[in-house]
Amino acid sequence: MSEIKSVVRAGLVKSLASLLIKVAAAGLTYLMFVALSRSMGEVPYGQFAFGFALATMLAIGAAMGQQTAVLRFWPEETVAKAPGKALNALKSGWALVLLAGAGLSAMLALIALLLGLIGSEPGAFLHLFGAALLILPMAAAEYGSSVLRAQGSVWSALLPRDILWRILVPGIVWLLYLQGADLSGFAALALSAVLLSFALVLQFVVGKRRGYVNGIGFGGLKSYWAERGKASRWFLAGTLVDSAALNVDVVLVGLMVAAESAGIYFNAFRTAGLMTLFMFAITLVIAPMVSRHYHAKEMRRAQAVTSFCAWAGFIFSVGIFIVFVFYGDLILSLFGATYAQGRIILIILSVGLLADAATGPTRIVMMMTGHERDYVRIFGTVMGLGFVLQLVAIPLFGLLGAAIVNTGSRIVAQTAIAWWTRKNVGIDTSLFGVRDLLDRSGAGA
């Protein structure tokens, strides 16, 4: 039992540090969106929300699944005493991110140009150029953070993007507002891209000085892709499904309803996401731990890590959910008086995320244990059916239909993958996993 306590204690210390950063980041994110919404007006902010959600989804594609791959392959190759392969995975991951990010950015910019040429209103698609500028920095930020987290870093991995970037954006936006500048959707997105790039350069320099391995390399890319390409493609598919589950609603609402409605839904979803803050902070820490313990055949330790994650994340989520029920409209009104009408949307979306928390870190366990294909197959199928329903629900019921379909799909999908993981991986990621851990300990396993 002492080994289990030591594993949990190690995870708890880093998780608390990660949580501290993520809580600060959540507050700063709110400050960023509040500053933008109050200084831009409803239509420009709606364009920003649309472009930000679109860039986020495309950035996940640009990351090529490497943000997950390095979290698994670095510990796996380290346990196998193959540091050369671990380093090649890291450097090749950077190469893939840069190539894919540049390609997707150019593609979206070309689409924006064509739409502008055939459109009747000049500048109507300018915010798409802003989204194109943001794709590569977002993808690089995601991968750069994973590179450092795979090596056990918390502060260097999270501070630049989660704190520095989120301080700079609202700070500069507010200064511009006080000077009388009216930010367009394009300007807000472009400013975000420039400041994020600055934060990434700083992260790279600080990480190197603190002794963390990092670097970009194209020389071993061919061999890496030949060996790890199949898994990477499934990692990519998994992250695309995850990103779509979090962002496609905003895009569909913006396309089918109005830019103003996209802003309301965007704020409600981002607010609901605060429920999973602790769960997300913990998974940032436990991903390499799960990979290391699982591949070293230390199943009790792997179960201990996931059970701790599930319960800590769920308790936090319940507390936030209660706050939303009683004060959701007040919280949303921080974005502006008109956004308080999203309260019911906030509560509906929160129910789905509460179920997400109850099933624990299922996604990261499946990804770290070599079951990424099954994750995509199960979660992607359920959420894909939900996306199809959105095409019917949004025109008929607007924001309410989008929220209900999203929540229903999430509950079914999370339950399905949690059940599959318990049966096929041997780790119960849900709240009931602690029961298995106690049974094993009592049996002296």
Structure confidence by residue, pLDDT tens digits, 186-213:
999 999 999 999 999 999 999 989 999 9
d(CA 203, CA 206): 5
Model confidence at 445: pLDDT above 50: no
Which of the two residues, 397 and 435, has the higher pLDDT score? 397
Q: What is the mean pLDDT of residues 26-45?
A: 79
Query: What band does 13 get if pLDDT is binned at 50, 70 and 90?
Result: low
High-pLDDT (> 90) share of the chain, %: 38
d(CA 421, CA 424): 5
Residue 161: is it exposed, middle or buried by C-beta count within 10 angstroms (0-12/13-18/19+)? buried
Model confidence at 398: pLDDT above 90: no
Model confidence at 443: pLDDT above 50: no
Tell the residue number behind the tokens 């994020």, with chain if given. 196
Structure confidence by residue, pLDDT tens digits, 64-90:
889 989 988 998 888 888 999 999 999
**Contact, 81 vs 292, CB < 8 A?**
no
Distances (CA, A) of 5 to 54, 281, 303, 308, 437: 42, 20, 12, 10, 12
Query: What band does 365 get if pLDDT is binned at 50, 70 and 90?
Result: very high
Residue 88 has what pLDDT? Answer: 94
Residues contacting 277, CB < 8 A, separation 6+ = 19, 22, 23, 26, 316, 320
Residue 6 has what pLDDT? Answer: 53
Closest CA to 251 of 131, 357, 396: 131
Identity of the amino acid at 333: S
